[in-house]
Amino acid sequence: MPPLIELVAITPRAVALRLLMPDARYYLPEPVAWRLHGDGIDRQGTTDRVVTVLHDLPPATTLSFDAAGFAPFEVTLPPCNGAVVLNDPAQAQVLLDGLPDGGTLIVPAGEWVVAPLLIPSHRHIWLADGARLVAPSDRAAFPILPAGQGGSWEGLPDACYRAILTAIDAHDITISGPGLVDGGGAHGDWWDWPKETRNNARRARLLHLIGCEGVTILGPVLTNSPSWTVHPYMCRNLSFAGLTIRNPADSPNTDGLNPESCEAVRIDGVRFSTGDDCIAIKAGKRSDTGGDAHLMPTRNVTVRNCLMERGHGGVVIGSEMSGGVSDVRISDCEMVQTDRGLRIKTRRGRGGVVSGIHLRNVSFDGVDTVLAINMHYFCDHDGHTPFVQTRQPQRVDDLTPQIRDITLDRIVARDVRLAFAACLGLPEAPVTGVVVTDADVTFAPAPTPQVPLMADGLRAVAGAGVLTEHCAISAPTDLPQGPLTLKDFQPC
């Protein structure tokens, strides 16, 4: 029986399909020829991607997709209830608001500098080939989103500038097409004040979804973000497919995709190259006084057939995880030159549970550390204090974080620089249930020793196997275990 094709995501004018070839990750083993045909359309081409995106399709049409060596596949595009073409950037919000439910705003080829847009429910945005939707360079053109209306920053309610694309309490939205959205990060002063405020507000995102449901983002290039690129916050049923997310390597905290306090999130065939983490899964954090009224869990996240080419981490959980993160499945991905592969980070004072994190059939090329788990992460103003950094047991209460049940299977790691795994738990709450099976690992020749985790008192290493402290880990015996903490370390 030939391999199958499955539907990943769909909008009225685009579709993402997964070519289910065994063991393939982001790329197919070799290019595959295809033909797409139906009423009024007959196209041919080749693809080298497992998740293949087809653009500029006729709405409400049934099409047949034939790929060499695969079973035939048929798909019906959803309808479009009317469309308007953007021809005056000053009218973009008016046109978007004036659409009927199910209507489409078409952004044609060309550069369109628009003030930040607020997307209502039941809207489609189509970014045509050659379209560039660009944020203004003047920060004064960005409205401020108050803390009580969805504004947040690093896990806490906080005022922030609105993104070039924002949706609040909206549902049934799609943004698709081969075009580009430029968030304006390099055009103004955004990257000059990464952890500060201007006009008592934090930096903007590029795409900010707040309290939304049923959103599909399919195909476009998202670049040059002021801070986090895509930030879904307290959302459900989201699909991100076939995107390219890229920011300069030195741009501060420009994470790629950060689902926070969300449920049912699918990330398929996305290519990342960022100035920080590629994917960072979050669930808010308690305030300094332990406040938790704003917390919600993140659960049921799947990451599949993605390529992470650069960044501090490939898939990261935390450090804002106080609401709890569970049921995360990462499979069939490629990570190249990311500092860490799978990274889980937290600290005392956060509370919350991270559990049920499963990674399978993932390749790592030139990473510092494949698996990094750190419960002494020195974030926030008190990150280097004895409360956070001491290795002496502390009282266990609702501010004590928990990490358990992490599995890695069918791993191929080449030129690992520092360690295959570095796991630093709390003495009062050790990490439990970490299992590594079927790992094929080689180490880089003569790397410079460095500290593998962002915690105090750790020794520099290079070419190490499994480094643990207060962590129960089962790993192949050809990955020898060793200590993490310097023998004479005492926190200040």
Is 172 among the residues known to form the active site? no
Report the SS3 class of residue 50. coil
Report the SS3 class of residue 194. coil
- The Cα 352–Cα 399 span in angstroms is 8
Q: Which of 268, 276, 339, 456 is catalytic?
A: 276
Q: Are 315 and 279 in contact (CB under 8 A)?
A: yes
Q: Are 319 and 348 in contact (CB under 8 A)?
A: no
- The Cα 61–Cα 173 span in angstroms is 20
Tokens (6 digits) for 329: 């499945």
Is 312 among the residues known to form the active site? yes
- The Cα 259–Cα 270 span in angstroms is 14
Q: Which of 124, 208, 312, 376 is catalytic?
A: 312
How crowded is residue 488: how many other Cβ atoms within 10 Å of its Cβ? 6
Q: How far is CA 442 from CA 27, 406, 414, in A?
A: 22, 22, 5
Tokens (6 digits) for 328: 């995360």
Task: Give phi and psi for 282, each to the nearest 5.
Answer: -135, 165
Tokens (6 digits) for 365: 């090329």
Residue in the structure block whose two tokens are 């501060």: 252
Pairing of strands 83-85, 279-281: unpaired
Q: How far is CA 182 from CA 132, 133, 259, 423, 439, in A?
A: 7, 6, 20, 38, 39
- The Cα 441–Cα 420 span in angstroms is 8
- The Cα 384–Cα 405 span in angstroms is 28
Annotated catalytic residues are 276, 312
